[in-house]
Amino acid sequence: MAPTKKRRFGRVRQLPSGRWQARYRGPDGKDHPAPNTFETRRLAERFLSLVEADITQGRWVAPEASRITVGQWAEEWFAASTPTLKAKTRHTYRSLLTRLILPRFGNVMISAVLPMAVSRWVADLSTRVGASQVRQAYRLLSQIMGAAVDNGLIPATPCRGVKLPRLPEPNPTILTAEHVDRLVAELSPPDDLLVLVLAYGGLRIGEALCLRRRHVDLAQGRVIVAEALAQLPGGPVIDTPKSHQRRELALPAFVVDRLREHLAGLPDHPDVFLFPGRQRRTADRPQSYNGWKYRFDRAVERAGLTDVIPHDLRATHGSWVADSHGVLVAARRLGHSNASVTTRHYARAVDGRDAEVAAFLDRARRTGGRSDRARNGHGEDLGPGA
């Protein structure tokens, strides 16, 4: 048997059968044999040259990738990611995998998934489920395939150049203060206080339901948003707020006064919930969202309002604050890291402000471009810094 011949990259040796074997160490640090033997040494060395070129140009794929299906890799990725995911996110990912991703790609080799296949899958999903679910499923598949690239299973992700369905433009109902007062008047305590906290604090309903005594600072007129209630099929779960963002919010004095009155009637314990379950057996837990939603919907009808859902109170708060103090302030109060989320999903122009802008521009035209503020030192100025 001829001795092993070492090269700069990989090595070849002749087997007792007379054929030649090629081996190399891949970027993953593992030793990889060629998938087959070669008739001549020259052919074995040519194989190593091609592999070396693939590694140099970033095209190398681990040989075992051809034996891993999307389903197998997705489960490995999910297991590794689970410890860092919120409970609701874990549930959402599992649902998307089970319903939308694995039925199409579960048994397909990960190295065989092409961009065209992903595009066809997205197009098919768009005929069966809403745009939001299509986009969520695509983003999840992109994460899974991106991790496959990072781990050397495929040279590039097939999730590229795919046209996704557009989301319908959100159109929340923005209430006036008078609308909120009418709604509050139709609710009994503490449901009425919960509406005030949502409208004048901008909390998500899950965040408000998880408020405890220790989260309220009456002296400073603030609440601390540190927990959130997630509704899952197995029951509600208390978790951190969305994006794990803890924030403090100043509330109007009249809401703080109502909180003070409400806390006076609750047990003096820091962990007691402000809005506990209504039954004795659930008094140590947040109240049910579904139960509160039922009472909220009835109050909306009695108040003579239409198309109002609890989340509209958060959108209303965002619009009020954006109109009075700007989008950046509204984004901070709503817990958004990016103000574009605030403007896209929540903040809307308050009725009447557009007419005010037109009137201002008319005055500016008649005064030669000088604003009221420039002429008399006060009033509105809608200049570049507004």
Per-residue pLDDT tens for 159-209? 999 999 998 877 889 999 999 999 999 999 999 999 999 999 999 999 999
Give CA–CA dist 282/235, Å, rounded: 13
Mean pLDDT confidence for 75-93: 92
Q: What sign does the CA torsion over 193, 199, 202, 204 have? A: positive
Q: What angle do CA 79, 82, 84 make, to 5 degrees?
A: 140
Three-state SS at 32: strand
Q: Is residue 179 a contact partner of residue 351, using CB atoms and an 8 Å limit?
A: no
Give CA–CA dist 205/197, Å, rounded: 9
Q: Does the pLDDT at position 37 exceed 70? A: yes
Quick one: pLDDT band at residue 144, thresholds 50, 70, 90? very high
Reported as a single tens digit per residue, the pLDDT across 42-67 is: 999 998 998 888 888 877 877 777 68
Quick one: pLDDT band at residue 2, thresholds 50, 70, 90? low
pLDDT at residue number 293? 95
Reported as a single tens digit per residue, the pLDDT across 351-383 is: 555 566 566 666 766 776 544 443 333 333 333
| DSSP secondary structure code for residue 286 in this structure | B
CA dihedral angle for residue 78, residue 84, residue 88, residue 91, rounded to 10 degrees: 10
Q: Does the pLDDT at position 100 exceed 70? A: yes
* Widest pairwise Cα distance in the chain: 101
Q: Does the pLDDT at position 123 exceed 90? A: yes
Residues found in the chain: 386
Phi and psi at residue 119, in whole multiples of 5°? -60, -40
| DSSP secondary structure code for residue 212 in this structure | B
Q: Does the pLDDT at position 250 exceed 70? A: yes
Half-sphere exposure of 248 (CA within 13 A, CB side): 9
Give CA–CA dist 216/264, Å, rounded: 13
- 31, β-bridge pairs: 25
Whole-number percent of the chain with pLDDT over 70: 84
Instruction: Look up tokens 């100025």; give the residue.
Output: 381
Report the chain's mean pLDDT, rounded to a whole number: 85
Q: What is the pTM of this model?
A: 0.69
pLDDT at residue number 334? 86
Mean pLDDT confidence for 244-273: 92
Q: Which residues does 215 contact at the CB level (< 8 Å), separation at least 6? A: 223, 224, 225, 226, 227, 274
- In order, the DSSP letters of 93-133 are HHHHIIIIIHHHHTTSBGGG--HHHHHHHHHHHHTTS-HHH
Q: Does the pLDDT at position 260 exceed 50? A: yes
**236 versus 224: which is more confidently predicted?**
224
pLDDT at residue number 122? 97
pLDDT at residue number 75? 96
pLDDT at residue number 324? 82
**58 versus 41: which is more confidently predicted?**
41
Half-sphere exposure of 144 (CA within 13 A, CB side): 29
Helix or strand holding residue 185 (H, E)? helix 177-185
CA 307 to centroid of chain Cα atoms: 25
Give CA–CA dist 61/59, Å, rounded: 6
Quick one: pLDDT band at residue 234, thresholds 50, 70, 90? confident
Neighbours of 284 (CB within 10 A): 13
Give CA–CA dist 147/75, Å, rounded: 12
Mean pLDDT confidence for 91-100: 96
Q: Does the pLDDT at position 39 exceed 60? A: yes
**87 versus 378: which is more confidently predicted?**
87
pLDDT at residue number 44? 92
Q: Does the pLDDT at position 1 exceed 60? A: no
pLDDT at residue number 59? 77
Quick one: pLDDT band at residue 285, thresholds 50, 70, 90? confident
- 273, β-bridge pairs: 212
Three-state SS at 11: strand
- Lateral strand order in the sheet of 11-14: 5-6, 11-14, 20-25, 31-33
40-44, 286-290, 321-325: the lowest-pLDDT one: 321-325
